[in-house]
Structure 1
């Protein structure tokens, strides 16, 4: 066991601050990684402030971060997938039971025994719960370590490990491809990745936003059309025409307005998580055999597929790179949607810190 620097919250009202945490020494199948960049996900804020207590209670001290890019510094004797010096990534999962039907199907994200990168029971006993990527290094089983294409900027690649796969996976599942008409609701951290993927898949891509000022940026990201969702006439023009709509909005909103835009057998997938239930008009589903679904991240194989796709198409997240010392400010700005479109922490900034 060794100790490494990290930023942690000591309680739900405490700011993130420098500390020292334990990490296990690599076992035969483990990879030790020096973390170069870690994306900041809204889930990090929710967890650190214990805002999801009913479904995902925080364990303190908590070290968030599940959008990790780094260099391999050590590998166990049994590791075959990675070598020292490789550029690699770690996403939302660091383990699963490996034996359930979901794992055998390559769908580790649905495993009942999944181990999240932070906040899950740590079977190795190095802490009260797993510690995430706001740290100088991490040790992870090789199966949960992914290859990062070398042509991708590592700062922009970090959010692909969550925001990227969260938007890529449902598009693959519902068959988004050339000739399809795809809607992206909300142009934020998730939505901007959805636009990039839909465009790269060759779909006719339409962004729905409440902000007319986002039109130019939506087109820059790859949108063919931009619809201001508060404009009833603009919405009416698209009635019954979408094959797939990805809803990235985490605030309460009228999903029936978007269900009405689906064609026969069209699907609306929710990846945003509003903090209260959303009413659904069932007739809007029945009359055209439409469906509404939800989707989390993807499995390990699909996440690697997504990263390779990004490498071929030169896709990364649009990021604002910050030092770790500004992470509390970043949290406050996220609550105001004041970022285009993700924060990425330069973990080299942690070297200057001294644990409290």
Structure 2
């Protein structure tokens, strides 16, 4: 194991032993790492000095090193727009980065069972990497989670447990039971998971120097990881300036943005959340206060978009050949608003994070252009369709 110390980003308390949350109730994170990149094939090897645990490369499924795609939408909006395509990770979302590093730790620490609280991207990711590592997996989901959706989790051999009760309490209960039962829970803002997300910032910086990075934000772990990555690059002298990070939330569930706009230091529960972007619909995000502190400290931004905007931009991204979850399209919807208002200036270099694949959530999608045709009339059908 490497030498490290944990710190609470909200109250500043430090820990020399591994904990997941501070005594003040907030998530902890590893103190900043400094180093130099190496010439190597994978993101894990190139930035070897920046991880709190040595990555177990034999457990890798090929996560990371995702493409940064230049978007034609940028020309329409007057900016240079790049899309960080996290949908090509092994289980089709950015979660694989954090899961891989967390499972690397779990194996080194001798854990036999890992778990998570999730009904979507993280559930599939933890189940897949647990299978890769030969670990047992306990996936805790809400009672309302559909059996169809959970097939993509149980196929890896994980134990999927539907829990009746307050889903918000389930996160904290899982950590308590994990300590009691010897299960290492890799939830949304597990400190190793947050470290894994730093790789997104590292990979972006290897290719360009953006002025703005748009990040769909739910629990806050992804935002914290990308922020920490850029901060460590600057402290190591590898970049000169930090980009402006923009947390993006759906209007129908935006506790962080609401607190930010009201100038508050703490988030409040968002009652009756309703949005098509269910992957970021967390009414009381466990890293919400930590994200809020970063937004205030660095004068970063938080913006919301409505469901109509999300669906429209999901369609526009599909027209570029990128089919993403509604949550992934929130960055483009936010960019349109900020470019129109002048908050993002013309000609700026902008990166939007595409967090997960649209193939995971097909229920709300329209059928598109589908028609019927007799074989004898095929030529006419093809001509009329063009």
For this structure pair, what is the TM-score category when the shorter chain's length is used for normalisation?
0.3 to 0.5
More helix, by proportion = 2
Higher strand fraction: Structure 1 or Structure 2? 1
TM-score normalised over the length of structure 2: 0.30
